[in-house]
Amino acid sequence: MSSDKFTHFNQEGRARMVDVTDKVDTVREAAAHGKVCMKPETLRLIKDHGFKKGDVLGVAQVAGIMAAKKTGWLIPMCHPLFLTGVDIRFSLKDEGTVEIISRVKTTGKTGVEMEALTAVSAAALTIYDMCKSVDKDMEIKDIFLVEKTGGKSGHYRRNNDERLDG
């Protein structure tokens, strides 16, 4: 395909930040999912606040929020956005999994999908960092966009995903 069909490339075929000047501000929201798989004993330590570094999920939540706010600085072609809301939820599964859902919201000219994905990623990395002293075999998995609303492309929901319904 020629580079003129993609808005992220200039006339020379090189990457550029898309010009959103003429786009209309709309309410935009995105949710992303990720998980950290670990030994059941590691999950028990998280539940019991047994890590000397502190409250694992509390720190991971703050890390996810901070990362969402800095996405435009981390991902080269992302626009720095004024976020109006960021929420991170954790679901602890007995088999040794922490599921993470982030929800990010703004009113603006461009979507917040990357901010939601970055929030989940940073929260997962923080869980790994805080727990690695007892479980280096942890795996960060299944990071993906669950849902997005707003903008020209409208509403998207991954395969009627039910993770957001609870």
Q: How far apart are CA 19 and CA 27, in angstroms?
A: 19
Separation in Å, CA 17 to CA 65, 72, 76:
24, 11, 8
Report, as residue numbers or ranges, the catalytic residues: 129
List phi, psi (to 5°) of 143. -90, 120
* CB neighbour class for 39 (10 Å; exposed up to 12, middle 13-18, buried from 19): middle
